């Protein structure tokens, strides 16, 4: 039924564009009961969205991609989030055989050697598990913000994701970094403490560093690569 969902994306955008996020979540859940999923990486943005999902009292499924190379702080934030909201966030892992083959052929840190090897690692650890997570869902909620990169400035509040054949909802698209921080402080929700230490964008441990003063918000991700290559494949448009 992907073609049906694709045709619905435009009408949904008109319906929820001017609504607050909790109301929008309610409409999406009404249109697609039990077919709305949110992928969290436990970033500040994702913590805000988790809080809004909890407040909306909708049946949105929350899941995460455990790459096996996350920061200890990320796992702690995951546990704190489960406890705070009384939930159990579902997890998807890389295919064991694919990961074994990659590591046996290339070694544990091959992603530093070339963009191609890094993207292959991302594909195994993140892209393929995401496809499994989104399978049979109609709507994918993400924490994308326009501030993140030039590529993401071309993103819409609701759009059709051709790669995953799913409607994509980016509720915080037009929020600023300050908006996100203020929300976390106002409602005292759990967040990754790395964000207090210069980690503006948090991914896998070996591929993430704190940013320096006046650096771009995504400068700490895959910092050894050119800026135009800094996507892992989760949010590539076709």
Half-sphere exposure of 22 (CA within 13 A, CB side): 7
Annotated catalytic residue within 121, 122, 204, 232: 232
SS3 158: strand
Q: Closest Cα partner for 28 from 45, 4, 12?
A: 12
Torsion of CA 63, 67, 69, 74, to 10 degrees: -10
139-141, strands of its sheet edge to edge: 90-92, 61-65, 36-39, 139-141, 166-169, 158-161
Task: Tell me, yes or no, if 232 is annotated catalytic.
Answer: yes
The residues carrying an active-site annotation are 232
């Amino acid at each position: 039924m992907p073609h049906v969902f694709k045709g619905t994306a435009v009408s949904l955008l008109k319906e929820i564009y001017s609504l607050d996020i909790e109301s929008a979540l309610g409409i999406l859940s009404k249109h697609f009961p039990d077919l709305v999923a949110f992928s969290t990486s436990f970033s500040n943005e994702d913590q805000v969205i988790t809080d809004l999902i909890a407040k909306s009292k909708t049946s949105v499924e929350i899941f995460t991609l455990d790459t096996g190379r996350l920061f200890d702080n990320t796992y702690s934030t995951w546990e704190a989030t489960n406890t705070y909201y009384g939930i159990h966030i579902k997890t998807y892992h890389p295919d064991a055989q694919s990961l074994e083959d990659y590591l046996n052929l290339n070694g544990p840190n091959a992603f530093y050697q070339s963009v191609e090897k890094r993207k292959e690692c991302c594909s195994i650890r993140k892209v393929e598990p995401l496809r499994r997570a989104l399978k049979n869902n109609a709507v994918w909620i993400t924490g994308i913000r326009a501030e993140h990169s030039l590529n993401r400035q071309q993103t819409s509040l609701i759009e059709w994701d051709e790669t995953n054949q799913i409607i994509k909802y980016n509720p915080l698209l037009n929020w600023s970094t300050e908006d996100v921080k203020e929300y976390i402080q106002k409602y005292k929700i759990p967040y990754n403490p790395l964000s207090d230490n210069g980690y503006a964008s948090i991914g896998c441990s070996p591929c993430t560093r704190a940013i320096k003063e006046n650096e771009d918000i995504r400068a700490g991700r895959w910092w050894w690569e050119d800026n135009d290559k800094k996507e892992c494949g989760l949010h590539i448009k076709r």
